[in-house]
Structures are given as C-alpha cells and as structure tokens.
A = this chain, B = another copy of it.
Amino acid sequence: MAEFRLIDAIVAVFDQLEAAPAVVLGPGDDAAILRVPAGTEVVASIDTLVAERHFPATALPQQIGYRALMVAASDLAAMAAEPGYATVALTLDTPDREWVCDLAAGIAEAAEVIGLPVVGGNLARGPLALTISVQGYVPVGTALRRDGGRPGDRVLVSGPLGGSAAAVRTGAVAATGASLSPVQRAYFRPLARLDLRTLLRGQASAGLDVSDGLLQDLDHLCRASAVGAEVRRSALPLTAGAQLEDALGASDDYELCFTVPAAVPDAPFLAAGCTVIGELTAALGIRLDGEPVAPETGYDHFVATGAAS
C-alpha cells in the first residue's frame, strides 16, 4: 500500500487549493469534478518535463515543481484564459516521501500564485518526469489565438527575455539554493502571465508564449497568421545577465509575445510592463533590423543536445 500512503501525503499538500469554489470534488475518486462558468469555452493544454532534459534532477524539488506548474499554465496565459484547474502526473523511480512532498509543495505554491487548483493526479514508477494538464476558461469566442495577426500590428513581449537560456548556458541551473540570481530566477521562478488576460482579450490580435525561443515562437505566430515580422534588436528587453542571443534563441522565459492592431492604444500594455519590439509585415519571414533571419535557432526537442534546456 506504499503507493496509496504516498498519494495521501501528496494530496494533503494540495488540500487548501481544492477548497476553490469551482472544485466540486478533488482527488480521491476516479476523476475530479469541476464547475465550469456559464458562457465560456474551455481551453486545454498538456506539458511534460523530463529530468535532465527539461530540468536538472539535482535541483531543489520545490523549484522543479514550481517551474513545471508555471510552464504548463503559461499555455493558458497564451490563450488569455481564466485559470481553471490542473491535474498532475508524476513518474518517479524512488518514492522518497520528503522529496515528493517538497515537489508537490513547489507545484502548490505556483498554483496558488496564479489561482489554478490542482484537482487530481497520477503516480507511476519510472524515470523521473512530470506531466501537467491545464484547463482554463474564456468567454465564448475570446481566446487569444495565433492566427489573428495582420500586417501593421505591433509586436510586443510581456517582459524581459533570455534569462532562462542564460541560466542554462552558464550552468547556473545546476547548483541552486534559497537565493537566486536573476537568470536562475528566470529559469526556476517563471510567471505564467495570466495577469494580462483581461488586457489581452478583445485587444490583442494574436499571441503565444515564448517557450522555444523568441524567433521560433514569433515564426509560429507569423505562419499561423500568414504574415511576416520586423523586429528591432535594440528594443528587446533582456533579463540582467542575458545576452541578445539568449533571447532570440532557445529562450523559454514564458513571457508572452503578442500583436496589437494599430487601432488599439498600447499605453495599457506599456503600463503593464510590456514592450513593443517590432511590427507584423505583409512580406513573409522574420527580419532583425531589416536582415532576414532563420527561426531554426530556437529550441528543438529532438535536435538539441545537452541536459536541462
């Protein structure tokens, strides 16, 4: 019965979150039961983080858990959704109760920051990995998609980029303690930008989160919208300690990249800490200060090598 005792200990960590009014029934049955707000659509996404591939297994379990939940929830932010709920599937080789409860505490902390109750999960024995399924809600027809960008729309990012990639590049992800440098913070304590959801809905024309590098993600947006983009290097906001290449390449900062039509004032976005970095163009492809660039410098899960990226 080791499995069920461990599950009980994990569930206890999430107890407070399950008190959210939308949660009719939390963990313990075959499935959780949730209330869905009337007049909304559900948005749904799933993400896996594999040890030594997406995080160093030596990191503090709280940090691994915190980051995993934020990474998954970032896809809800990218749709401008209200947070709904999450389920967590954990695979691990050794059922070390303290380590697992610390991991759960990290997940729970992140979940509390963004108001996303963890309502169920699965525990399996195997190589260390975390898969998190997230659901959110949007008023019908208001989800922020990738395909609404038009030539002339401004391109914005929601915060500084490159910190996470710089942390990987410099090895700063390997050894962490309670006190984190700015690049370590970008890696281990990203914030799913759900705080921007009401600002984005009905105002932004397209958007996504920066999870594979700015150039590659912007290319995804441009292809979906059948447009190109012009980006100014000097406009890119960088995390302290990050270089331009960190931001353009394999960055997974989980900031949002979104576009705003000319008719929409950008003052509210600037006031929220967002930055205009360029414009969408009718000409396809991405240009940096007028020069065409290849988006393939971003992160590819099957081509990239090395741990923790």
Contacts and interface: CB of A to CB of B under 8 A. Distances in A.
Nearest to A78: B30
A32 to B, nearest CB: 5
B38 A302 contact: no
A180 interface: no
Contact of A143 (B33, B54, B136): B33
A83 to B, nearest CB: 12
A94 to B, nearest CB: 9
Given A38-B38, A41-B34, A46 B301 contact: no
A45 B28 contact: no
Nearest to A34: B42
By DSSP majority rule, is chain A's interface helix, strand, loop, or mixed? strand
A204 interface: no
Given A50-B124, A302-B125, A33 B43 contact: yes
Interface in A150-179: none
Interface residues of A, number: 71
A87 B2 contact: no
A3 B87 CA distance: 25
Q: Chain copies in the assembly?
A: 2
Given A30-B146, A76-B31, A131-B122, A48 B1 contact: no
B129 A46 contact: no
A203 interface: no
A45 B124 contact: no
A51 B138 CA distance: 37
Contact of A41 (B4, B24, B145): B24
Contacts of A209: 30
Contacts of A121: 46
A79 interface: yes
A44 B120 contact: yes
21 contacts: A2-B300, A2-B302, A4-B300, A24-B41, A29-B224, A30-B45, A30-B146, A31-B43, A31-B78, A31-B79, A31-B81, A32-B45, A33-B138, A34-B43, A35-B41, A36-B42, A42-B135, A44-B120, A46-B87, A50-B126, A127-B129
Interface of A: 1-4, 6, 24-25, 28-36, 38, 40-51, 53-54, 74-76, 78-79, 81, 85, 87-89, 91, 95, 119-127, 129, 131, 133-136, 138, 143, 145-147, 208-209, 224, 296, 300-303
